[in-house]
Structure 1
Amino acid sequence: MACEVANCSRMIKPVDVIDQSVSNFKLKLEVFKMGKYLLGLDNGGTMIKAALYDLKGNEVAISSSKTMMYQPEPGFTERNIEEMWQANVIAIKGVIKKAGITGSEIIGLAATGHGNGLYLVKEDGTQTYNGMISTDVRGREYVIKWQKDGTYEKILPKTMQCVFAGQPTTLLRWFIDHRPAVLKETKWIFMCKDYIRFRLTGEAYGEIADMSGSSLMNVRDVKYDRELLAEMGLESIYDKLPPLRYSGEVCGTITKEVAELTGLVEGTPVAGGCMDIHASAMAVGITDEDKMCVVAGTWSINEYISKKPVVDKDLFMTSIYPIPGYWMILEGSPTSASNLEWFLTEILRDIDLKELDVYEYSNHCVNCVADEDCGVVFLPFLYASNVNINAKACFIGLNSYHNRDNMLRAVYEGIVFSHKYHIEKLLKYRDVPKSIRIAGGVAKSRVWVQMFADILQVPIEVTECTELGALGAAICAGVATNTYASFKEASDVMVEIAYTAKPNPDKQAMYQKKYHRYLKVINALDGIWDEY
Structure 2
Amino acid sequence: MAYLMGLDIGTSGIKALLIKEDGQIVSSQTEKYPLHTPQAGWAEQNPADWWEATLKVISSVVKDSGVEPAGIKGISLSGQMHSSVFLNKDMKVVRPAILWSDTRTSRQCQQIYDRAGGLENLINYVSNPALEGFTAPKILWLKDNEPANYQQVSLVLLPKDYIRYHLTGEIFTEVSDAAGTLLLNVKEKKWSAELLKKLDISPEILPPVIDSIDIAGRISKNIADKTGLKQGTPVIAGGADNACGAVGSGIIQEGRVMVSIGTSGVVMAQANKPTADKQGRMHLFNHAVPDNWYMMGVMLSAGMSFNWVKEKLFDDTIDYDRLNQLAAAVEPGSDGLVFLPYLYGERTPHADANARGVYFGISGKHEQGHFIRSVMEGVTFGLRDSLELIKAQGIKTEEIRAIGGGAKSQLWQQIMADIFGQEICLLNIEEGPAFGAALIAGVGAGVYDNFATAESRIIKISKRISPVEENVAHYNKLYNIYQNLYPAVKDNYRELSKLN
TM-score (normalizing by structure 1): 0.85
Aligned mates of 1:302, 1:227 — CA distance in 2: 30
The within-5 A match list for 1:81-480 is 81-147=47-113, 150-231=117-198, 233-236=199-202, 238-315=203-280, 316-341=282-307, 343-344=309-310, 346-347=311-312, 351=316, 360=321, 362-385=323-346, 386=348, 387-397=350-360, 398=362, 405-430=369-394, 433-480=397-444
Letter aligned with residue 272 of structure 2: K
Residue 478 of structure 1, CA deviation:
0.5
Q: Which moved more, 1:393-402 or 1:183-192?
A: 393-402
Residue 255 of structure 1, CA deviation:
2.3
Aligned mates of 1:88, 1:423 — CA distance in 2: 36
Q: Which moved more, 1:332-341 or 1:299-308?
A: 332-341
Aligned mates of 2:363, 2:224 — CA distance in 1: 59
Residue 299 to residue 113, structure 1, CA distance change in 2 (3 Å):
farther
Structure 2 contact 128–284 (Cα < 8 Å) conserved: yes
Q: Which moved more, 1:383-392 or 1:335-344?
A: 335-344
3-state SS of 1:273 partner: strand
Residue 148 to residue 452, structure 1, CA distance change in 2 (3 Å):
farther
3-state SS of 1:56 partner: coil
Letter aligned with residue 95 of structure 2: Y
Aligned mates of 2:157, 2:364 — CA distance in 1: 50
Q: Which moved more, 1:521-530 or 1:424-433?
A: 424-433
Residue 368 of structure 1, CA deviation:
4.8
Residue 523 of structure 1, CA deviation:
1.9
Aligned mates of 1:407, 1:134 — CA distance in 2: 31
Q: 1:73 aligns with which of 26, 35, 39?
A: 39
Residue 191 to residue 81, structure 1, CA distance change in 2 (3 Å):
same
Aligned mates of 1:206, 1:156 — CA distance in 2: 22
Letter aligned with residue 41 of structure 2: G
3-state SS of 1:393 partner: coil
Q: Cα RMSD (Å) of the superposition? A: 2.6
Aligned mates of 1:254, 1:338 — CA distance in 2: 39
The number of equivalent residue pairs is: 491
Aligned mates of 1:52, 1:404 — CA distance in 2: 44
Percent identity (aligned): 29
Aligned mates of 1:96, 1:465 — CA distance in 2: 22
3-state SS of 2:18 partner: strand
Residue 86 to residue 450, structure 1, CA distance change in 2 (3 Å):
farther
3-state SS of 1:135 partner: coil
Q: Cα deviations across residues 343-390 of structure 1 (Å, max 9, x unaligned)?
A: 55x52796279xx7xx54653453354434244433322343131523
Aligned mates of 1:79, 1:104 — CA distance in 2: 34
Q: Cα deviations across residues 196-216 of structure 1 (Å, max 9, x unaligned)?
A: 212222221111121123211
Structure 1 contact 162–313 (Cα < 8 Å) conserved: no
Q: Cα deviations across residues 14-51 of structure 1 (Å, max 9, x unaligned)?
A: xxxxxxxxxxxxxxxxxxxxx62111112222142222
Residue 348 to residue 95, structure 1, CA distance change in 2 (3 Å):
farther
3-state SS of 2:73 partner: strand
Residue 37 to residue 116, structure 1, CA distance change in 2 (3 Å):
same
Residue 76 of structure 1, CA deviation:
1.2
3-state SS of 2:260 partner: strand
Residue 125 of structure 1, CA deviation:
4.3
Aligned mates of 2:400, 2:338 — CA distance in 1: 25
Residue 413 of structure 1, CA deviation:
2.0
Residue 180 of structure 1, CA deviation:
2.0
Letter aligned with residue 120 of structure 1: F
Residue 328 to residue 521, structure 1, CA distance change in 2 (3 Å):
same
3-state SS of 2:94 partner: coil
Unaligned runs of 5+ in 1: 1-34
3-state SS of 1:235 partner: coil
Letter aligned with residue 167 of structure 1: F
Q: Is 1:57 the equivalent of 2:30?
A: no
Residue 349 to residue 47, structure 1, CA distance change in 2 (3 Å):
farther
Give the match for residue 497 of structure 1.
461
Aligned mates of 2:49, 2:321 — CA distance in 1: 31
Residue 184 to residue 405, structure 1, CA distance change in 2 (3 Å):
farther
Letter aligned with residue 237 of structure 2: G
Residue 70 of structure 1, CA deviation:
2.2
Residue 402 of structure 1, CA deviation:
5.5
Letter aligned with residue 394 of structure 1: G
Residue 522 of structure 1, CA deviation:
1.3
The within-5 A match list for 1:33-48 is 36-48=2-14
Aligned mates of 2:106, 2:435 — CA distance in 1: 33
TM-score (normalizing by structure 2): 0.90
Give the match for residue 471 of structure 2.
507
3-state SS of 1:427 partner: helix
Aligned mates of 1:367, 1:160 — CA distance in 2: 41
Aligned mates of 2:60, 2:313 — CA distance in 1: 32
Aligned mates of 2:324, 2:448 — CA distance in 1: 39
3-state SS of 1:279 partner: helix
Aligned mates of 1:404, 1:264 — CA distance in 2: 54
